[in-house]
Structure 1
């Protein structure tokens, strides 16, 4: 493995830029945290992030990819285009319990740092405002709309209880199943009813007993979103929402087939009809090896408390639409610890920790580490050429043969 070497001057200038922007970055993080907005409704949040970048001299384009709360902010004109993804959607009822306020602010900080060396490194810096990571897959929409076509590599740093330079987020698809039966009086004429709640019960039991045969890293978890209206009426309409996760898209496809069969079993057993709808699938996250090692080197230089590579493989993880980006172009999404104590992502205690001193430190160090990682890729001749070649080939494949 090649030793990572970054120019001390570039390293210093990136660090100085983040230091100088510290107050603005922390204020941005706190402002996002104080006014959480959920998927596709992040109007204030997108305006705060893009507004700061516009004030800093970035050329901002709002509403990209057909999404009102998406944007791009561009600086420089070099051929190597560094994409920094800013997430800013929150969780319903929990606010910023996954720390997207930190993600947005750290990506802005990295962009401000790279702005200072963009001319020297002959690169372009693009912040991509990506809504709806928690639900809806905003990056998938932007990817399909061509927003990432101009980007050579994409990065962000995600808050977590611990640092993990190479987490392995799972592929995910969300399935909604709806059962339809027939109402009847629960006491006077239950035999005339067709119980949609029974269908849901059978399906849940089928999923439960099927877990014994799940492949490694396959997971299923769901909630009942409609179980009936009143107990003295046989319920004719029920609905449930399930998340399916797997190590990769291929394993996810197999899992989805199994779970759809469980849903069908519920309908057959209860005599109901049923419908299943699916959201766009999140792919597993694939880290670019050079970017991952460059980030590890940067995090080590900053004194981050890194776990071993062996420990990284055992650490639990969720899912992200950054996975779809990573299957299309070189990408990186390390986790950075915020000293959240016993709290983990998607807990209210983690939301509170996302504006505590440990989160502030992670935000600033994450910004510097991302900037150093991108600068390392720009300075390393072999890595730079590979990224440019891959970008060119990706563009050629979209055009097709002439």
Structure 2
């Protein structure tokens, strides 16, 4: 293998930097929610197609998923997959930086493709919709995606650099109570108050938190509480997440939280319906050797992992990449964009475009590409 292979991969990122920045900006300016990312997924796939990748879209029956493949000229010795996310947040746009994730993965794929023939590396980019609660990767995983990969990797924007992802396992629920409407002043005895049911459940959850193990999370929002103050609400709805350190712990915690929602139904006479919004997100199983390469490559690029631990907690955020990591060697490092805002704040969306974000994009693409090359070399020699 030529001694300058990583240098040439890095140079390739620089060559296509204008396209990568334009792609990131395009996604940022046109945010689309999970399962609706038609323009976003098409834009990401189009850049790869323009550079010779074969595109399969829709992929495995998912309209906004795609698979882009570039095979080496000779036999494949190692297959690397860069994962692209491009869904936005309701009301917040790209306040989790998924525009940068896509651009970094595309840049890394183009960089590795530039040296893939001499290394025997097959390069894939898998476009994965609906990470923000929809579990797009889990749907693809269940249909056979990712399982041919020797390494799956992506980098996620955060306020600061953190190498290791330690996400919570998480359950996403839609919660609904159905009661009976009635005039609140004239015929209150005829009503079954679905809003009271939600209030009882939320109070029960608040009291339960005192007895929960350290580190678990239970949180949510009520999305429908009633229509008029003089009408007893007949339907209320909400979205709730339950998080734990492991899937095993999560299964136990779910039952305790469900009893709180059942208490609301029992106290008011309303009917409870709890519907999963996706499969459970699993905890991350990190490929430590690959992560070591990423850390070293990022440091060479000037990234700094000596950060305030309080600012570094984005690495606890749940992700469906955890499910991929249960069957494929994987890493999911966080790369800093700077600034005072944190993920899922309006200010973080603003931080994911501009000069600092562009530096993050190019560093991330280069570090991912170099890491893929390092791991391929280790595991094929």
The normalised TM-score by structure 1 is 0.90
SS at match of 1:239: strand
SS at match of 1:64: coil
The normalised TM-score by structure 2 is 0.95
Q: Residue in 1 aligned with 2:121? A: 123
Query: Structure 1: how far apart are the matches of 2:211 and 2:373?
Result: 46
SS at match of 2:69: strand
Q: Residue in 2 aligned with 1:305? A: 304
The reply on whether 1:173 has 2:168 as its aligned counterpart is no
Of residues 20, 23, 27, the one that matches 1:32 is 27
Over 3 Å counting, the alpha-carbon distance change for 1:323 and 1:313 in structure 2 is farther
Q: Do the aligned residues in 2 keep the contact of 1:75 with 1:125 (CA within 8 Å)?
A: yes
Q: Residue in 1 aligned with 2:199? A: 201
C-alpha deviation, 1:314, in angstroms: 6.9
Q: Do the aligned residues in 2 keep the contact of 1:164 with 1:312 (CA within 8 Å)?
A: no
Q: Residue in 2 aligned with 1:256? A: 254
Alignment of 1:333-372 (within 5 A): 333-339=332-338, 341-372=339-370
C-alpha deviation, 1:82, in angstroms: 0.1
Q: Which runs of 5+ in 1 are unaligned?
A: 1-5, 386-402
Alignment of 1:1-400 (within 5 A): 8-77=3-72, 78-279=76-277, 280-307=279-306, 311=309, 315-316=313-314, 317-339=316-338, 341-380=339-378, 383-384=379-380
- Size of the aligned set, in residue pairs, is 376
Q: Do the aligned residues in 2 keep the contact of 1:157 with 1:370 (CA within 8 Å)?
A: yes
Query: Structure 2: how far apart are the matches of 1:50 and 1:193?
Result: 53
Query: Structure 1: how far apart are the matches of 2:181 and 2:228?
Result: 11
C-alpha deviation, 1:301, in angstroms: 1.0
SS at match of 1:315: helix
Query: Structure 2: how far apart are the matches of 1:118 and 1:277?
Result: 45
Query: Structure 1: how far apart are the matches of 2:300 and 2:53?
Result: 29
Query: Structure 2: how far apart are the matches of 1:272 and 1:93?
Result: 31
Q: Residue in 2 aligned with 1:3? A: none
C-alpha deviation, 1:307, in angstroms: 2.5
Cα RMSD over matched residues? 1.7
Deviations 1:161-220 (A, max 9, x none): 000000211111111221122222211221222111111111000000000111222101
SS at match of 1:215: coil
C-alpha deviation, 1:48, in angstroms: 0.9
SS at match of 2:105: helix
C-alpha deviation, 1:295, in angstroms: 0.3
SS at match of 1:11: helix
Give every structure 1 segment of 4 or more consecutive aligned residues whose post-TM-superposition deviation is greater than 2 Å: 310-317
Q: Do the aligned residues in 1 keep the contact of 2:175 with 2:273 (CA within 8 Å)?
A: yes
Q: Which runs of 5+ in 2 are unaligned?
A: none
Query: Structure 1: how far apart are the matches of 2:270 and 2:106?
Result: 52
